[in-house]
């Protein structure tokens, strides 16, 4: 794929430079959703953003996709200002983005087909990815015949099949039960380690953020400002069911939680 001129491997995948965003509602009231926010995400880096509900996490992702424009400051993707939907970006949201009227294999093949791959090739590639996420026996099933966890697997296959250089995730697993959630987090880390892209993972779940990410960006209550960035030095590969008992993990969650607690109270 062709990149913009200055975008060598050393160019950050994503850069927020002193970004503020203010919404003006129909009745003329202003809501500041984000204030003086700066963040740089390296190629291949896994970053998590945590903060209380309503602080501006989704707003941040929407500026990476170009859905929202900063009121002040700039957002760059691969060294270029965001102009519109970028085919190098993949998304997984909390709500299922699968087409309910399409079978699993047609859902997973949708991306490659849309990008102009011939049908037989797209279907073969889809089979590979369906297998990779453990749904080999369910290719002909429809989404309503699957559990919530299985639909998430479809969503992951559907996203990773396009080999995104940037993956944006907005509370993707929050509707799942604990066990399924843990499995999906492992699945995600496995897929990501084979993909090598950058991830921005938004969650209100601090432990999820620490367990998954290289760095955790903690936002304050609205208007969100960046309170602090924490490095997570836990070794990889990580196994979700084990990482939670790592003393380093426990230390870090206590430390961040102390910081976050004040914000949750304020929100
Ligand atoms: N299109 C919009 N118009 C006005 N206000 C908005 C709009 N989108 C979000 N907001 C407000 O901005 C704040 C941040 O929203 P959001 O980024 O969705 O929070 P989070 O994802 O952290 O829960 C909230 O107070 C929300 O009500
Ligand atoms: Mg949100």
> How many angstroms separate the CA atoms of 26 and 28, rounded?
5
pLDDT in tens, the chain (267 residues): 444 445 577 899 999 999 999 999 889 899 999 999 999 999 999 999 998 888 899 999 999 999 999 999 999 999 999 988 888 999 998 888 889 999 999 999 999 999 999 999 999 999 999 999 999 999 999 999 999 999 999 999 999 999 999 999 999 999 999 999 999 999 999 999 999 999 999 998 999 999 999 999 999 887 889 999 999 999 999 999 999 999 999 999 999 988 777 776 766
Residue 266 CB-density burial (10 A; 0-12 exposed, 13-18 middle, 19+ buried): exposed
Query: Looking at ligand 1, which residue's alpha carbon is closest to its atom 18?
Result: 58
Q: Give the Å distance between the CA of 52 and the centre of ligand 2.
A: 9
Whose atoms come closest to the Cα of 30: which ligand?
A: 1
User: pTM here?
Assistant: 0.93
- State if residue 31 touches ligand 1 by the CB under 6 angstroms criterion: yes
- State if residue 54 touches ligand 1 by the CB under 6 angstroms criterion: yes
Which bin fits 251, alpha (ψ -120 to 50), beta or left (φ > 0)? Answer: alpha
């Amino acid at each position: 794929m062709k990149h913009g001129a200055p975008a060598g491997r050393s160019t950050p995948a994503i850069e927020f430079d002193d970004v503020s965003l203010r919404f003006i509602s129909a009745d003329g009231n202003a809501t500041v959703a984000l204030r003086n926010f700066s963040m740089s995400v390296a190629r291949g880096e896994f970053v998590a953003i945590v903060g209380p509900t309503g602080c501006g996490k989704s707003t941040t992702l929407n500026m990476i996709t170009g859905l929202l424009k900063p009121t002040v400051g700039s957002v760059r993707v691969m060294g270029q200002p965001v102009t519109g939907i970028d085919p190098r970006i993949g998304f997984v949201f909390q709500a299922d983005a699968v087409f309910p009227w399409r079978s699993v294999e047609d859902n997973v093949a949708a991306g490659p087909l849309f990008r102009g791959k011939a049908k037989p090739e797209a279907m073969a590639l889809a089979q590979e990815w369906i297998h990779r996420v453990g749904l080999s026996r369910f290719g002909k099933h429809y989404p309503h015949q699957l559990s919530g966890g299985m639909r998430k697997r479809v969503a992951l296959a559907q996203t990773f099949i396009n080999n995104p250089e940037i993956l944006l995730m907005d509370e993707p697993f929050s509707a799942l039960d604990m066990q399924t959630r843990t499995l999906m987090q492992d699945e995600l880390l496995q897929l990501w380690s084979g993909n090598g892209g950058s991830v921005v993972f938004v969650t209100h779940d601090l432990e999820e953020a620490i367990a998954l990410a290289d760095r955790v960006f903690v936002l304050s209550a609205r208007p969100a400002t960046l309170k602090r960035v924490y490095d997570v030095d836990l070794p990889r590969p990580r196994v979700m069911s084990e990482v939670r008992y790592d003393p380093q993990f426990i230390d870090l969650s206590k430390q961040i939680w102390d910081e976050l607690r004040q914000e949750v109270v304020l929100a």
